[in-house]
Amino acid sequence: MSAKSSSVGRAPRLAVAFATGFASLGAGITSAQEPATMRQYQFEPGSGGYTLALKSVPRPEAGPNEVLVRVRAVSLNRRDVSILNVQYGPGGGRAEGSVPLSDGAGEVVAVGPGVTRFAVGDRVAGIFFTDWIDGARDERTAPSARGGGQGGMLSEYVVGHEQGFVAVPDYLSLEEAATLPCAAVTAWVGLFRYGNLKRDEYVLLEGTGGVSVIGLQLAAAAGARPIITSSSDEKLARAVELGAFGTVNYRSHPEWQVEVRELTSGHGVDHVLEVGGQDTLPKALQAMAYESHIALIGGLSGFASDVPLPALMGLGATASGIYVGSRADFEALNEFMAEHEIHPVIDRVFDLEEAPAAFDLMENGSFFGKIVIRL
């Protein structure tokens, strides 16, 4: 398919450019002779934000302790549209010249000297923070996030330290695996590492985007009672098929927190994956039970500037700020998903040349689960 123009936000989002130059063949062990060049999207300045520029660039090589991965699928998160529109990070951040998207999966096609974790042919997914392997975050964590200031996954090939990848469970397709690094790890950390989710506990999930839908699947697999909100009855019906204990249409019920409490027989929810931000946080708190936990994740309606401490203290509730998780968290998630054979929900798969349309779909919100681009 030929490249075509699309609009994301306030500017045309596809500019096709071709860089010259050739890369030498990769060092170390290689599956076969790989092409010297590859296709890759980069952020370029545009009117009111960035544009997506599809380029032909030299293919990288695998150096010491590095693997070269042929990316087969990537997925989008809300963060990616925020970066495109210069709405992410202090002052919007600077992404000019960097490669979009944190999430992707593919096959190892070359390994550099000293690599021990992977071999040519292994299926892998990149971790969100390449320098967060286990334990607590530190000052090195944030700068190592893929798809912002440093290289992302929207590229036919990526190279990186072997520690920055995890093995893909055998039962998952690469498209499914590409949905996991940000949204699924975030949901896992919020519910299990910080929330210590238990069977029969009530879980509130806001909307039917990536974090909420995989959170629903994880909670249902754990024997919990997930309750999910949406403005679409059709989406809520799909959520029931995935294991939702209860649903609330927040358009039909503007005071949706009341409906949520009724679904719990007045007990309130024990866990919240709070992705909505300033418009949803006050109501989510009203739906919470005593000694409950709220995972503060996102700001679809704008980030809440004030967390109501009296409300939390009155409930004896705890709040955790969630910023994805470590490689160890990703590996724990994969183990749980394989045990329960959970298949992530993919709304639509785009071709590489259709990447701007994928960004459009993410921005307009008319999707259920995850959006994937196949390379």
Q: What pLDDT, in 10s, does the model give residues 256-280?
A: 999 999 999 999 999 999 998 778 8
pLDDT, average across residues 128-137: 96
Same domain, 273 and 170: no
Same domain, 31 and 133: yes
- CA distances, 40 to each of 60, 67, 101, 117, 262 (Å): 12, 18, 11, 26, 50
The more confident residue out of 205 and 85 is 205
Same domain, 58 and 146: yes
Residue 161's domain is classified under what CATH number?
Answer: 3.90.180.10
Distance of CA 366 to the CA centre of its chain: 17
Same domain, 12 and 126: yes
Which residues span the domain enclosing 136? Answer: 7-179+345-374
Residue 21 has pLDDT above 70, yes or no: no
pLDDT, average across residues 30-56: 88
Residue 138 has pLDDT above 60, yes or no: yes
pLDDT, average across residues 70-97: 83
Same domain, 13 and 139: yes
156 inside domain: yes
Per mean pLDDT, which range of 27-41, 194-208, 275-289, 332-346 is the poorest? 27-41
Residue 64 has pLDDT above 70, yes or no: yes
Same domain, 197 and 154: no
Residue type, 68: L
1 inside domain: no
Residue 317 has pLDDT above 70, yes or no: yes
How far, in Å, CA of 351 to CA of 76, rounded? 13
Question: How many residues are given for the chain?
Answer: 375
Residue 242 has pLDDT above 80, yes or no: yes
Percentage of the residues of the chain whose pLDDT score is greater than 70? 87
Residue 375 has pLDDT above 90, yes or no: yes
Residue 209's domain is classified under what CATH number?
Answer: 3.40.50.720
2 inside domain: no
- 3-class SS string, the chain: CCCCCCEECCEECEEECCCCCCCCCCCCEECCCCCCEEEEEEEEEECCEEEEEEEEEECCCCCCCEEEEEEEEEECCHHHHHHHCCCCCHHHCCCCCCCCCCEEEEEEEEECCCCCCCCCCCEEEECCECCCCCCCCCCCCHHHEECCCECCCCECEEEEEHHHEEECCCCCCHHHHCCHHHHHHHHHHHHHHCCCCCCCCEEEEECCCHHHHHHHHHHHHCCCEEEEEECCHHHHHHHHHCCCCEEEECCCCCCHHHHHHHHCCCCCEEEEEECCCCCCHHHHHHCEEEEEEEEECCCCCCCCCCCCHHHHHHHCCEEEECCCCCHHHHHHHHHHHHHHCCCCCEEEEEEHHHHHHHHHHHHHCCCCCEEEEEC
Same domain, 356 and 230: no
- What average pLDDT does the structure give for the chain? 89
120 inside domain: yes
338 inside domain: no
Query: How many structural domains comprise the chain?
Result: 2
Per mean pLDDT, which range of 106-115, 135-144, 146-155, 249-258 is the poorest? 146-155
Residue type, 247: T
332 inside domain: no
| pLDDT in the model for residue 151 | 85
336 inside domain: no
Residue 28 has pLDDT above 90, yes or no: no
| pLDDT in the model for residue 30 | 60
Identify the band that residue 331 occupies on the pLDDT scale cut at 50, 70 and 90: very high
Residue 5 has pLDDT above 70, yes or no: no
Same domain, 231 and 145: no
CB 71 within 8 A of CB 90: no
Residues whose CB is less than 8 angstroms from the CB of residue 64 and which lie 6 or more positions away in sequence, other chains included: 112, 113, 114
327 inside domain: no
Residue 283 has pLDDT above 60, yes or no: yes
Identify the band that residue 20 occupies on the pLDDT scale cut at 50, 70 and 90: very low
Same domain, 138 and 245: no
Residue 330 has pLDDT above 80, yes or no: yes
Tokens of 280: 């949803």
Same domain, 137 and 208: no
Same domain, 259 and 223: yes
Same domain, 165 and 274: no
